Amino acid sequence: MGLSLLGCGGERKNDFYNVYNSYNVYNGYSMNKLNNKIIRLIGIAIIALLFSLTIVWSVMLWLEGENLLKSDVNSDAVDIGLQQTSHGLSLEQKVGQLFIIGFDGAVITPQTEKMFNELKPGGVLLLKKNIQNAKQVKKLTADLQALSMAYSGLPLFIAVDQEGGSVSRLDFLREKTAQFEIETTQEAYAIGLTRGKELKELGVNLNFAPLLDIAASGDFIFDRTFQKDALQTSKLAASLAMGQKEAGILSCFKHFPGYGGIAFNPEEKLATLTKAPSVSQFQEATIKIKPEFVMVSNVVFEDIDSFLPFSFLENGVKQIKQAVGASPLIITDDLAQNSVLKRFSLEQIVGLPLMAGNDMLIFSGWKSPVAPAVLAAQEMVKSGQVAKDKVDKAVSRIIKQKEKMLE
């Protein structure tokens, strides 16, 4: 009985261990199976997360690209245009880039659009006839840039004479301090900065200022100058240009070597002086800041040439580069003036400055229409009277400056 009971208990004990072992085996198998499922689920989750992050990142990049496109669509288009055209402008496009022209009206008319498409100018000069109010000017400059992009793939230099004082084309702007009222370099910088910001807001990118002419009381240009000695003039001019540069405006030092010593209006009658003035103020100013442009005066200096104005002389251009370096674009004063129109033919007026090495010509249309001047230049380049390599060099320098303007 005892043995049977003992035998029965032993069997139950063995059954218990068998069941226990079976449970452990099953449980271990189940746990392994569960672990595998968890691992698979974690893997799927990680893959899904990475996929989601990829989508989010792509969307962010797309949105950033859209924002950049919206905020700077003109710059993007211009960049593409610069890349495409710097290697292959037509002759008409190249010659057009050499001109900053004037035009009639405060809006783009069909006639204006036709003229621009024909002449393809590289810049415009806004005069009183183009200016009404801030809203109108802002619309005009935007339309002009769009027109330029269509005919050349390049932006325009949109210039104005905003010297301050008596020559303030945009007379509705607040900053119109005359140069002779500026006493310190700090004041000059602040004026340049404020003036530059106002111009930038209107779509103007080039100010034909400051003047570095050294003049005396009684000289025609005296009221427009700093009315200081050469050293102080250089300091004030450099500081004003620095302010304009900070605001994103290109500056032009003018009128090399100067209109000082002339009592009458040199736009109406060609002035002749026995000796060219000192240009130390230009030299000193460009040590402090390199202007984007230097404008050349239309004056005959007999110690250099007894007949041709300085802007027509290759030796004159060489003297400019010796004084201010090679980087500034050299541009003539307005050639549509009686001072030169009464003495020279149209072909001489546009051809001689280009042969001399000027990079750009201003032809405002004031006393002579613009189109014949640009078309005359085209014909002179086609015929070889103006060397194509000179034109190519000038256009390359112009495009380089336009690229910098967009940085």
Rounded to whole angstroms, the Cα distance separating 76 from 258 reads 40
By DSSP bridging, strand 123-126 and strand 250-256 are unpaired
pLDDT in tens, 277-322: 999 999 999 999 999 999 999 999 999 999 999 999 999 999 999 9
Distance CA 103, CA 130 (A): 8
- The vertex-345 CA angle with 341 and 348, nearest 5°, equals 105
Q: Which residues contact 52 (CB under 8 A, 6 or more apart)?
A: none
**pLDDT for position 406:** 81
CA-nearest of 126, 125, 146, 145 to 134 is: 126
Contact predicate 281/325, CB 8 Å: no
Query: With b meaning 16 or more CB within 10 Å and e meaning fewer, what string describes 377-392?
Result: bbebbeeeebeeebbe
Q: Which of 57-66, 237-246, 252-261 has the lowest mean pLDDT?
A: 57-66
Cα pseudo-dihedral 103, 104, 108, 109, rounded to 10: -120
pLDDT at 79 over 50: no
Q: What percent of the chain has pLDDT over 70?
A: 79
Q: Kindly tell me if the per-residue pLDDT of 29 is higher than 50.
A: no
Q: Which two tokens stand for residue 25?
A: 């085996």
Q: What is the pLDDT of residue 48?
A: 58
- Mean of pLDDT values over 28-37: 50
Helix (H, G, I), strand (E, B) or coil at 125: strand
Q: How, if at all, do strands 167-168 and 162-164 pair?
A: antiparallel
CA distance 360 to 398: 8
pLDDT value at residue 86: 44
**Nearest by Cα to 304 from 318, 293, 321:** 318
Answer whether residue 395 shows pLDDT above 70: yes
Place of tokens 């000038």: 394
| Confidence band of 40 (pLDDT split at 50, 70, 90) | low
Q: What is the pLDDT of residue 12?
A: 41
- State the Cα–Cα distance between residues 370 and 384, nearest whole angstrom: 22
The C-alpha atoms of residue 34 and residue 47 are separated, in whole angstroms, by 20
Q: What is the pTM of this model?
A: 0.79
